[in-house]
Amino acid sequence: MIPGLLLVAFVGSPDRFSGFFGTYRFLFNFTFFGRCFEFILGMGLALIVNRHHRSETGPKFGLFTYLGFAWIIACLVGLAYFKSPLDASGWTNYSSIAINNLILPVGVCFAFYGLVFEATWLQRLFETKTFDLLGKSSYAFYLAHMGIFSIAIENYLTHNYFIIFILINIISIGLYYFIEKPAQKFITSI
């Protein structure tokens, strides 16, 4: 994070580097330097999970799972509370940026730890075939949820967010089965 802060301070300008280090808000929202805390926590969680076997389950009542999901919900409430009057998203507000980049990832790590090591109904739900498929198509969802597909759905079909969500999931599953999975098989066969 410190290298990014220094780059914005000393070479940052909306005119240089295509605005890449133009503002602190852009740095914190859209670059590795602003989001590296998430990566560090994720790597730490991966090391913890790698060192412990799944049979060494934690508390049966799901302390980490439920604490993590409660933490995530509290962060979403905080993000809604601090939304920006400029664009209603909150991403221009430093309080929202701090919640999103520093506080929320801790709760996500708790939830993931709990889902790996604690036997809860949420763990069983996420292990079903439906959620397995949604997980496999999640990268396609990430790519499709903001772009040509979502724009086309919103412009030509509906403004209903629930229907848009369902349609983007269907598109993502199709992208997974017809592009990502065949490409993965092809690459691994080389």
Instruction: Locate 18 and state its tokens.
Output: 């295509």
Amino acid sitting at position 121: W
The mean pLDDT value for 153-177 works out to 94
The pLDDT score that the predictor gives to residue 25 is 77
Q: Is residue 12 part of a domain?
A: no
Contact 108, 68 (CB under 8 A): yes
The mean pLDDT value for 16-36 works out to 71
Q: Is residue 108 part of a domain?
A: no
Q: What is the pLDDT of residues 51-98, one digit of tens each?
A: 886 655 555 678 999 999 999 999 999 988 887 656 655 567 888 889
Question: What are the residues whose beta carbons fall under 8 Å from the beta carbon of 147, sequence distance 6 or more?
Answer: none
Question: What are the residues whose beta carbons fall under 8 Å from the beta carbon of 161, sequence distance 6 or more?
Answer: none
Contact 154, 164 (CB under 8 A): yes
The pLDDT score that the predictor gives to residue 24 is 74
Instruction: Locate 50 and state its tokens.
Output: 């790698």
Mean of pLDDT over the chain: 84
- What is the DSSP annotation of 2-47? HHHHHHHHHH--TTSGGGTTS-HHHHHHHSHHHHHHHHHHHHHHHH
Q: Is residue 175 part of a domain?
A: yes
Q: Is residue 116 part of a domain?
A: no
Range of the domain at 150: 128-190
The pLDDT score that the predictor gives to residue 30 is 76
Q: Is residue 187 part of a domain?
A: yes
Say if residue 140's pLDDT is above 90. Answer: yes
- Selection from 106, 109, 89 nearest residue 30 by Cα: 89
Say if residue 126's pLDDT is above 90. Answer: yes
Number of structural domains found in the chain: 1
Q: Is residue 86 part of a domain?
A: no
